[in-house]
Homo-oligomer: A and B are copies of this chain.
């Protein structure tokens, strides 16, 4: 029976709060805080079985977060705010000696990175403080890290290749919208592609490598090699010769993105406008539909999984583990589309692993550093069942 402070009130937060309330044996009381308290209230009003308090907080300011922690005394701070705020919230946790969990790596405002270095640099301080930080407890990163650890534990002696594939075959009925924070989404897809092979990273032009992947329950979709942050931690924690990440995009999405890049709307450097400095991508975000509002008429499915090749007991092994999630069913359950859902459920479960002591440590950790079995045993029950395929290559 634990109290948690949840920071952020976007589409993922909505799922996390509802899922925590479903798991009331672990989560007994929530303080939900974000810049705009009314967004917290809108989420809280539907929760009846556990108390959900709300508060306003500027998560860029460690002192404000620390004050909430001192007042509410949570066992865990769940950060589903903006990735720019990760370090400030970690600072607050350090100051108050409370555990930390997030779903996306820290990003500086001015340049796309998607690297763990800033957060890993907190390891010694968290260790010294005797507290734990769990990084990237969403789906990808998150479940994909656990999938990989599970594959390593049970099915592989050596891993030659890891291909993480992320397909959203949903239709939200909007001309153009991103499925999560547009700032982060557009940063991800406009940066150079990057992959890992034999101890080195290789960069390629954005969206320049793609192939058709035949996703279970979805069918073949053109998938693009992107840099995604879990590659960095996975190749550090698990011996893998080659690791790549692939994501599907529709032609229309790519056309919109190309045009927005052409005209400079995806820039993250400030532009002079009538004597002010405005970051084009931030302004674009203000125009685009809120990802949390896309759920209503969203149809179709997502499919995210990990394909691994390597050896087991001296024989070649090929393994694919994946989840399929349906947008409309997610909306029926938690008023959210599947991209928010697949991120929010592992946030709740990662937190539960910490709060129940199934995963514990002192310092800063990624998901694959813990025993995957208890997580894999429970994730299906909370809405993200997984399937395995042996001996078949998708990518």
- Interface of A toward B, CB cutoff 8 Å: 175-176, 255-256, 259-260, 262-265, 267, 271-274, 276, 278, 280, 282-284, 286-288
Contact = CB atoms under 8 A, between A and B. Distances in A.
Contacts of A267: 287
Contacts of A283: 273, 278, 280, 283
Nearest to A288: B263
Q: How many subunits of this chain does the assembly comprise?
A: 2
A100 to B, nearest CB: 28
A172 B284 CA distance: 26
B287 A265 contact: yes
A273 B259 contact: no
Contacts of A288: 263-264
Contacts of A287: 263-265, 267, 271, 280
Contacts of A263: 175-176, 256, 260, 265, 284, 287-288
Contacts of A271: 286-287
Given A175-B263, A263-B288, 6 more contacts: A256-B263, A259-B260, A263-B287, A276-B276, A278-B283, A280-B287
Contacts of A272: 286
17 contacts: A175-B262, A176-B259, A176-B263, A255-B255, A255-B259, A256-B262, A256-B263, A259-B259, A263-B288, A265-B265, A265-B287, A267-B287, A273-B278, A274-B282, A278-B278, A280-B283, A280-B287
Contacts of A262: 175-176, 256
Contacts of A278: 273, 278, 283
A175 to B, nearest CB: 4
Nearest to A273: B286
Q: Which 3 A-B pairs have the closest CB atoms?
A: A175-B262, A259-B259, A264-B287
Specify which of A260, A262, A265 lies most central, judged by the most chain B CB atoms within 10 Å of its CB.
Answer: A262
Contacts of A274: 282
A271 B280 CA distance: 14
A25 to B, nearest CB: 42
Contacts of A286: 271-273
A259 B265 CA distance: 11
Contacts of A284: 263, 265
A255 B258 CA distance: 10
Specify which of A263, A271, A283, A284 lies most central, judged by the most chain B CB atoms within 10 Å of its CB.
Answer: A263
Nearest to A280: B287
A319 to B, nearest CB: 40
Nearest to A177: B263
A176 B255 CA distance: 13
Nearest to A287: B264
A297 to B, nearest CB: 17
A264 B288 CA distance: 8
A272 to B, nearest CB: 7
A42 B283 CA distance: 32
A267 to B, nearest CB: 8
Nearest to A262: B175
